[in-house]
Amino acid sequence: MTGTFDGAASCPWTGLRGEAFDFPVGQIRRVAAVEPEVDETKRNLLKLAAVAGVLGVGVGGVVGGTLQYVQPPTIGLSSYPTVQLLDVDGTPLTVDKVEAEYSYLTGDLLLFNYPLRNEPNFLLNLYTGSAGSPLPPGVSSILNAIGPPGSPPPLPPTIVAFSAICQHLGCPAPAISYYPPGTCPKTFGSLTFYIHCSCHGSTYDVTNGASNLTGPAVLPLPQVVLEADPTTGIISAKGMTPSSPPVKGHLNTLQGDYGVGSTSELAKESPVILCSFPSS
Ligand code: FES
């Protein structure tokens, strides 16, 4: 989808923004859902305390023994898991496949959830498709990228992954999308490709850890740490880079939903294109 920007009030993705405001990434929705149960539990505790008083039983003992059932469980993980990525057809995703099928010219979005089920991420390959000039014009290296195994590797590292939830107000993909070269007239020096959010115009440099090119977002997109098996080239996600902020809408990237499990499968989506750069 394409369009022109004429202000936030007419943004066609107001619905998505509303969804993001109301339920950023699932956590708020869950809190809202459990509140009535907590209130009911509190009421039951008071009743229990009253009965204990009548019976002459120590309220502290009763309450202490009951509290373990009162605390709402924290949904999430205690540490970053290593999760093998699967291609859209369910087969293991390898560096060779990514190099063959995707490049920095690829318009379709490739999304996978990690580390939680409600935390989508872009998978990007910034390879030009030419072994002679593998990096895009003006780019000398790509921060925290992985590439084909080998010594020396046949190609420089070009595969990266970033959170697909905008760091401004939490608009999710595809309202935030990867824009290949030529998508919008706007460029940043020699940089002609970037992640751009159609909600309010935040733009992120995919060659430099998704640092901010334009606001209103002031933090980079969290970057997934990827790893390629040195023998098979199978790609796994194994954490977030140390400089990554929490995924927007989560106090902690590891909390707010259940983990994805041992594998996470790519899904393809069409980008939303809206060339708006109000803060540039
Ligand atoms: S949510 Fe405002 S720029 Fe993305």
Taking residues 150-162, report their average pLDDT.
90
Counting ligand 1 atoms within 8 A of each CB, the residue from 163, 202, 276 with the most, and so the one to mutate, is 202
User: In this structure, are residues 45 and 63 in contact, taking their beta carbons and an 8 Å threshold?
Assistant: yes
Counting ligand 1 atoms within 8 A of each CB, the residue from 196, 197, 203, 204 with the most, and so the one to mutate, is 197
Taking residues 85-94, report their average pLDDT.
97
User: In this structure, are residues 189 and 138 in contact, taking their beta carbons and an 8 Å threshold?
Assistant: yes
Cα dihedral 243, 249, 251, 256 sign: negative
CA 176 to ligand 1: nearest atom: 4
What whole-number distance in Å separates Cα of residue 123 and Cα of residue 99? 12
Pocket, ligand 1, Cβ cutoff 6 A: 166, 168-169, 171, 176, 197, 199-202, 216-217
Taking residues 35-59, report their average pLDDT.
45
Question: What does the domain layout of the chain look like in residue ranges?
Answer: 1-280
Ligand 1 center–CA 24 separation, angstroms:
12
Ligand 1 center–CA 170 separation, angstroms:
6
CA 202 to ligand 1: nearest atom: 3
What whole-number distance in Å separates Cα of residue 249 and Cα of residue 240? 16
Q: What does pLDDT average to over the chain?
A: 81
Residue 56 has pLDDT above 50, yes or no: no
Ligand 1 center–CA 238 separation, angstroms:
27
User: In this structure, are residues 268 and 178 in contact, taking their beta carbons and an 8 Å threshold?
Assistant: no
Taking residues 243-251, report their average pLDDT.
95
**Closest residue by CA, ligand 1 atom 3:** 200
For the stretch 208-223, pLDDT in tens is: 999 999 999 999 999 9
Residue 269 has pLDDT above 50, yes or no: yes
CA 171 to ligand 1: nearest atom: 1
Ligand 1 center–CA 79 separation, angstroms:
28
Return the CATH fold of 1-280: Rieske Iron-sulfur Protein (2.102.10)
All residues at 6 or more sequence positions from 248 whose CB lies less than 8 Å from its CB, including other chains: 24, 25, 163, 165, 166, 167, 168, 169, 170
Ligand 1 center–CA 22 separation, angstroms:
14
Nearest residue to 111 via CA among 157, 165, 167: 165
Residue 116 has pLDDT above 70, yes or no: yes
pLDDT band at 149 (very low <50, low <70, confident <90, very high): confident
Taking residues 250-258, report their average pLDDT.
94
Ligand 1 center–CA 217 separation, angstroms:
7
Taking residues 133-162, report their average pLDDT.
93
Counting ligand 1 atoms within 8 A of each CB, the residue from 16, 171, 204, 247 with the most, and so the one to mutate, is 171
CA 166 to ligand 1: nearest atom: 4
Residue 23 has pLDDT above 80, yes or no: no
State the pLDDT at residue 47.
Answer: 53
The number of beta carbons lying within 10 Å of the beta carbon of residue 130 is 9
Ligand 1 center–CA 199 separation, angstroms:
5
State the pLDDT at residue 53.
Answer: 46
CA 216 to ligand 1: nearest atom: 3
DSSP label at residue 258 = -
State the pLDDT at residue 153.
Answer: 84
Q: What share of the chain is helix, strand, coil (3-state, %, to 5)?
A: 20, 25, 55
